Structure 1
Amino acid sequence: MFVKKDTRKIPDILADEGDEREELHLGRRSSEFVSNGIKVVCSSRHIPRLQKLQKLSLYDNMLSHVKGIGALSATPLKHLNLGRNQLKSLPPELGKVGTLETLWVDDNAITDFPRSVLQLKRLQELRLSGNRISEVPEEIAALSELRVLALDNNEVKTVPKSIGKLSHLQSLLLRQNELEELPGEVGGLLDLKTLSVSSNRLASLPESVGQLVLLEFLFANGNRLLSLPPELAGLLKLRKANLSNNSIYSLPVDVEAAWGRADPVTGKLDPATVDSPRKTEVVIRGNPIADPKQAGGSASGYTAEQDMTSLMDETR
């Protein structure tokens, strides 16, 4: 949603007695943060003026640290955006801001999963895409209220088994990482509606994906899949699956009966070819099953441009 930029300087906003400051959109103001960092907002002098603050955006301010962020524990802050800065880590004091429900830290330079986040028990949405995180800790299960976990475009090599304990999770976004497998425990995510694991190194999907009865979107394009588990045929709510640019040579009988045979013209599975009532859109182009001349998988001319096209499809 478009937010009109407040052209006043931050001290003027904070001093305005007529402004309740429930939302502060302070993105792209790096010149105001260059000297004192976030103390221009989070100082003991200013915190009393933020007693109604629920949304704070510090997006794209060239911040290299957020020391002092713990002062926001004295506010009712629910939504915090630290995206597109230069953060390499998040301080332990962030864990004190226990009212947070949404935390965006996309497009920074974070290398280790921030442990302070694990203390935010009310967190429902955590976005850490576009960083350099290689490991997700087992303790991720502590975020029991999480609905969205976004770790796209990192260096994640494994997903912990404890991921299956996030019983309220609706979107798991792991696109463009270094995953070679998913734990079977993902089948415990019974509220999951979107699973995105595109552009990884997956040779298979676990059978337990078939237990995700509410799943609507499955994106696994640009991997190394050789086949599909027949359990996928049980995903009755699935609206779209992108399985393009893998190495799939054939389909399990149950999957073909549910979704149809490959149409080399459209690059999709056609339910009409098997008289199936399903309306699921299954994209299969770039696989040998759709085009016998294709070698399949990322080794067969798969490009970043194709992946970007797939991403656009995912977000529509």
Structure 2
Amino acid sequence: MDYRILLRIEAVANGHTDTLTLDNLHLTELPDAVFDLPHLRVLSVRGFGLQSHQGIISLLEKVPAPGSAELAEELKKQEEDLQNELKIPRQLRSLDARIGQLKSLEVLDLGYNQLDYLPDTLGDLVNLRKLIARNNLLSSVPASLSHLPKLELLDIRHNPITTTPEIPRLVVYEEQKNHFRLQKNLAIKQNDFELASWFYKQETQFGLHM
């Protein structure tokens, strides 16, 4: 195991912190030791986000300009390198069902990985407030999420999602965040920047600027 991972897990196990950050460490699965951290409140296992140049390449080919052909060729080479990088297993490919053992977990960030499913046991995380799984390969999320009494944020943007369960608390959350955004914009129009700043902080608290 990577010594950085080991040290961070030990810090949680010894009670020095309740947050475990394993971002960009090329994990394809969670280490077994993670599931033995009953007091863990925040777990972040973000992969690395790779930016595709395909949109820019298409634009350069459609609207030629001086030097655009050379730039398009260079971006095509970078795009090929990117696709080769994606073939190397450096991101989470699966999430162990034992994740449901972490009963104290409040924030789970799985963004920018290659997960194509989430286990039903996520519904056992009774204290979970924020679940971030953006930029994965998910076509659905488990219906068990609708049982989570404290869930405020479910970020599943940039996934090929076809169905989502009905989660009543998220409906309330959407209403609240839209209210903050509307009030902030009104305050800006009225040049009340102090009030606008307050509403911006509320938006941040509700996860709108993640």
Structure 1-normalised TM-score? Answer: 0.40
- Cα 1:225–1:279 change in 2 (3 A) is same
Aligned to 1:188: 124
Aligned residues of 1:121 and 1:145 also touching (Cα < 8 A): no
Measure the CA separation in 2 of the matches of 1:93 and 1:279: 40
Give ranges in structure 2 of 5+ residues lacking alignment.
49-90, 179-206
User: Deviation digits for residues 50-83 of structure 1, max 9, x if unmatched?
Assistant: xxxxxxxxxxxxxxxxxxxxxxxxxxxxxxxxxx
Measure the CA separation in 1 of the matches of 2:95 and 2:31: 8
Q: Are 1:90 and 2:26 counterparts?
A: no
Measure the CA separation in 2 of the matches of 1:238 and 1:157: 32
Aligned residues of 1:184 and 1:207 also touching (Cα < 8 A): yes
Aligned to 1:66: none
Aligned to 1:216: 152
Deviation (angstroms), 1:220? 0.3
Measure the CA separation in 1 of the matches of 2:6 and 2:127: 31
- Cα 1:124–1:92 change in 2 (3 A) is closer
Aligned residues of 2:45 and 2:110 also touching (Cα < 8 A): yes
Measure the CA separation in 2 of the matches of 1:119 and 1:280: 32
Deviation (angstroms), 1:227? 1.6
Aligned to 1:120: 13
Measure the CA separation in 2 of the matches of 1:159 and 1:193: 18
Measure the CA separation in 2 of the matches of 1:219 and 1:190: 18
- Cα 1:93–1:170 change in 2 (3 A) is closer
Measure the CA separation in 2 of the matches of 1:194 and 1:92: 23
Measure the CA separation in 1 of the matches of 2:23 and 2:4: 18
Measure the CA separation in 2 of the matches of 1:121 and 1:221: 35
Aligned residues of 2:41 and 2:106 also touching (Cα < 8 A): yes
Which residue, 42, 46, 49 being the options, matches 1:152?
A: 46
What is the Cα-based RMSD across aligned positions, in Å?
2.7
User: Deviation digits for residues 256-280 of structure 1, max 9, x if unmatched?
Assistant: xxxxxxxxxxxxxxxxxxxxxx546
Greater share of helix: 2
- Cα 1:126–1:93 change in 2 (3 A) is closer
Structure 2-normalised TM-score? Answer: 0.58
Higher CA-based Rg: 1
Determine which structure has greater relative contact order: mean sequence separation of CA pairs < 8 Å that are 6+ residues apart, divided by chain length. 2
Q: Which amino acid aligns with 1:90?
A: Y
Percent identity, aligned pairs only?
Answer: 26
Give ranges in structure 1 of 5+ residues lacking alignment.
1-87, 95-102, 104-115, 241-277, 282-311
- In structure 2, the residue corresponding to 1:208 is in which secondary structure? helix
